[in-house]
Amino acid sequence: MFNVTTKSIQWGREKLTLETGKVARQADGSVIATLGETQVMANVTFARKAKPGQDFFPLTVHYQEKYYAAGKVPGGFFKREARPSEKETLTSRLIDRPIRPLFVDGFRNEVLVMATVLSCDLENDPDIVAMIAVSAALTISGVPFMGPIGAARVGFSNGAYVLNPAMDDMTQLRLKPEQRLDLVIAGTKDAVMMVESEAYELTEEEMLGAVVFGHEQMQPVIDLIMDFAEDAAKEPFDFTPPDYSALYASVKAAGEAQMRAAFALRDKQERTTAIAAAVADIISKMSEADQADSNLYPAIKDLEATVLRGDVVKHGTRIDGRDTKTVRPITCETGILPRTHGSALFTRGETQGLVVTTLGTGEDEQIIDALNGNYRSNFMLHYNFPPYSVGEVGRVGSPGRREIGHGKLAWRALQAVLPAATDFPYTIRVVSEITESNGSSSMASVCGGSLSMMDAGVPLKAPVAGVAMGLILEDDGNYAVLTDILGDEDHLGDMDFKVAGTEAGITSLQMDIKIAGITPAIMKQALAQARDGRLHILGEMAKSLTSAQAFSEYAPKIETMTIPTDKIREVIGSGGKVIREIVELSGAKVDINDDGMIKIASNDANAIKRAYDMIWSIVAEPEEGKVYTGKVVKLVDFGAFVNFFGKRDGLVHVSQIAKQRLTHPNELLKEGQEVKVKLLGFDDRGKVRLGMKMVDQETGEEIVEKKDDSAEG
């Protein structure tokens, strides 16, 4: 019934297996990839015809995590997987970016890729397995795909690169100082196609070494897929790339001069208007048959690329007049919003980000429901890209994949320099509102985010800046690496290479290649130029922070204390009764974690002190010989019981109340009276012994007996 093909290799510490022929047999390509006990099923389907007039490639990639894969029930009110999580969205982008450039030019049939996590062993992250499964499914599907690609995760611990570290080692990386890198890489046999990473101030040499290591380690995977395809691949789809050279010649003749004049304009808005006019003029000069040709717009796009790229490679001059290494003019302002906790306006050329920082308490931490368990994050970065930022109209809705991806890139760049939670016990939310955009708004978010947090008084280990690099690689091998690329240079170039970091090293790197890959030599040059650009931007940022930033008066004040873990239950109380009472009586927010660290937050310093004292009275132990203020709670024939330390009571024996002899304690004391007592010690049964007669009841000072010197001589 089934015609099953299975291939396996030992890859690192685990066995990697590819299987097809048993499940989802009506898909054009279906592969289940298994690494350890993590399994991902990838299914590929594609339309046999392009839609009439289709002038772009409609590729859709969906990565889905099923909670049953880890033996979990989804959280929330509806117990069903619903909208994609951030992890699913980011992994869909990870899969899309390296495979998109490898479809044959001119192929515009709709392609759907679905990767579904079926099993997760909590050791091997399913994102890498999904990339491998998709590559194998595409390779055997018959679709015109110039793969396969391989993928790998690279860690860097104790000076050595690690292939596919365990999931626990990569979760909340900044809590694991020995692990300095989480890098995902994908590529073909000959070249790297995509890199995504977060790092802890790695040098350019260390980062390049990680990329080279990852590319080497994925080679057995590529060989496995090719061997697998020899037995399982379907007949290639009959597709001949369209030849529109004649149409391109007509387009070039009709509008090259006007297009060159448009690209010669330095201002973005003027240039955009002029390019649109040139395109409209070219179309008007075409015949009706050419206007109906779905290759018309690709031909016009080729003309735009030729005009932009040629001058850069030949003359080193870019469309805004810069050379290949110059960063656009930068203006930085901080503290521009009066009631926010921290704010910054970062402007680089025609790219601008208004970035705002809000400081919250432990209650504001984000709870992340992941396959490998729930955990909390005290740092969030959200990126918004409204249509007006590029002078357009458009629909405004929930964040799209691009906004989530750009926000996560900026998050990765900044998380490496955050203070430890014990040193700065706040939840930090950074929001980047992109108000203008002409290239690299994610890097503007990094720079603005760093300034905004410093304006809020967050003690970052070092400022962080980011810069986007581009590449123009011609067929003859000549190339130009561009620092701080514009939007047009991104769209019409061959590489988008974003590097962020401090003066000491790289904290995040993202690379997307739109051609068949680049060499280590080009990457080395790009990293070197990026470092120069980053240091220049850091210098400009420093000008806006000439003195230490004051902590916002509108931010909550938080004090921390650590208690023994065996005292946590006493502070919380049965059903949370005690901690609720502390919050109600003090007016402060109180958060306790499993390690015994308590965060007390309020805008009122007195409320914090009240809560602190109440908690301390529960967990602290009274000290022998120390004087305390207490209250008489009960009088008996032999003494007075005094509540002197939290809920602790002790006995002041009638002989210890006053220097004179008392028949009954009620001669001097009454219930509810405040008294000063000294802790004399504990009896054999652990009961507290207190004394009053040796303490001045007015001052609380211990009475020191003076020697009588008159008898000497």
Please state the domain extents for the chain: 5-232, 245-292+295-315, 330-542, 557-619, 627-691
d(CA 260, CA 275): 9
pLDDT at 524 exceeding the cut of 50: yes
Taken in order 420, 425, 431, 432, the sign of the CA dihedral is: negative
CB neighbours of 619 closer than 8 A, spacing ≥ 6? 563, 564, 567, 570, 571
**Lowest pLDDT segment from 123-132, 239-248, 682-691:** 682-691
DSSP lists the bridge partners of residue 559 as 600
Contact 84, 123 (CB under 8 A): no
Q: Select from 373, 367, 434 the least CA-distant residue to 399.
A: 434
Query: Containing H/E element for 542?
Result: helix 520-542
Contact 334, 450 (CB under 8 A): no
pLDDT at 205 exceeding the cut of 80: yes
486 φ, ψ (degrees, to nearest 5)? -85, 170
Write down the architecture of domain 245-292+295-315 according to CATH: Orthogonal Bundle (1.10)
Query: Does residue 471 sit in helix, strand or coil?
Result: strand
Q: What percent of the chain has pLDDT over 70?
A: 97
CA distances from 276 to 249, 258, 280, 480, 539 (A): 19, 11, 6, 27, 37
Contact 612, 603 (CB under 8 A): no
429 φ, ψ (degrees, to nearest 5)? -120, 125
How large is the C-alpha radius of gyration of the chain? 34
Q: What is the pLDDT of residue 580?
A: 92
Taken in order 282, 283, 286, 289, the sign of the CA dihedral is: positive
- Measured from the Cβ of residue 292, the count of other Cβ atoms closer than 10 Å reads 11
More confident residue, 434 or 295: 434
Query: Does residue 314 sit in helix, strand or coil?
Result: helix
CATH 3.30.230.70 assigned to domain 5-232? The reply is: yes
**Lowest pLDDT segment from 156-160, 372-376, 500-504:** 372-376
pLDDT at 713 exceeding the cut of 50: no
More confident residue, 266 or 28: 28
Contact 470, 529 (CB under 8 A): no
pLDDT at 54 exceeding the cut of 50: yes
Query: Containing H/E element for 39?
Result: strand 38-46
CATH class belonging to 557-619: alpha beta
Q: What is the pLDDT of residue 623?
A: 81
Taken in order 229, 234, 238, 242, the sign of the CA dihedral is: negative
Name the token pair of 619: 């967990």
Q: What is the pLDDT of residue 707?
A: 57
Q: In this structure, what DSSP letter does residue 328 have?
A: P
Name the token pair of 500: 């962020």
Count CA atoms closer than 13 A to 328's CA, side-chain side: 27
Taken in order 65, 66, 69, 71, the sign of the CA dihedral is: positive
Q: For residue range 491-507, list pLDDT tens digits in order.
A: 888 888 899 999 999 99
d(CA 682, CA 660): 24
- Measured from the Cβ of residue 69, the count of other Cβ atoms closer than 10 Å reads 20
DSSP-derived secondary structure for 230-268: HHHPPPPP-------HHHHHHHHHHHHHHHHHHHT--SH
Contact 458, 418 (CB under 8 A): yes
DSSP lists the bridge partners of residue 598 as 561, 592
543 φ, ψ (degrees, to nearest 5)? -65, -25
Q: What percent of the chain has pLDDT over 90?
A: 58
- Measured from the Cβ of residue 310, the count of other Cβ atoms closer than 10 Å reads 13
Query: Distance between alpha carbon 670 and the CA centroid of its chain, in Å?
Result: 62
Residues in the chain: 713
Question: For the residues 164-192, what does the mean pLDDT come to?
Answer: 83
Q: For residue range 639-675, list pLDDT tens digits in order.
A: 999 998 877 889 999 999 988 888 899 988 999 999 9
pLDDT at 709 exceeding the cut of 60: no
Q: What is the pLDDT of residue 26?
A: 96
Question: In CATH terms, are 245-292+295-315 and 627-691 the same topology?
Answer: no
Say what the pTM is. 0.84
Question: For the residues 558-584, what does the mean pLDDT come to?
Answer: 90
Query: Whole-angstrom distance between the N-terminal and C-terminal Cα of the chain?
Result: 119
**Lowest pLDDT segment from 89-98, 187-196, 312-321, 563-572:** 312-321
Q: What is the pLDDT of residue 421?
A: 83
CB neighbours of 224 closer than 8 A, spacing ≥ 6? 7, 8, 9, 16, 18
CB neighbours of 223 closer than 8 A, spacing ≥ 6? 9
Count CA atoms closer than 13 A to 416's CA, side-chain side: 30
d(CA 16, CA 1): 25
Name the token pair of 550: 């004051």
pLDDT at 677 exceeding the cut of 50: yes
d(CA 606, CA 584): 14
d(CA 486, CA 469): 10
pLDDT at 711 exceeding the cut of 60: no
CATH class belonging to 330-542: alpha beta
Q: Select from 108, 195, 106 the least CA-distant residue to 149.
A: 195
Q: What is the pLDDT of residue 172?
A: 63
Q: For residue range 344-370, list pLDDT tens digits in order.
A: 999 999 999 999 999 998 888 898 888
Query: Does residue 36 sit in helix, strand or coil?
Result: coil
Q: What is the pLDDT of residue 554?
A: 83
pLDDT at 536 exceeding the cut of 50: yes
Q: What is the pLDDT of residue 472?
A: 87
Query: Containing H/E element for 182?
Result: strand 179-187
d(CA 420, CA 174): 9
Q: What is the mean pLDDT of the chain?
A: 90
Pick the CATH number of 627-691 from 3.40.50.300, 3.90.1300.10, 2.40.50.140, 1.10.8.60: 2.40.50.140
Q: For residue range 598-631, list pLDDT tens digits in order.
A: 889 988 889 999 999 889 888 887 888 889 889 9
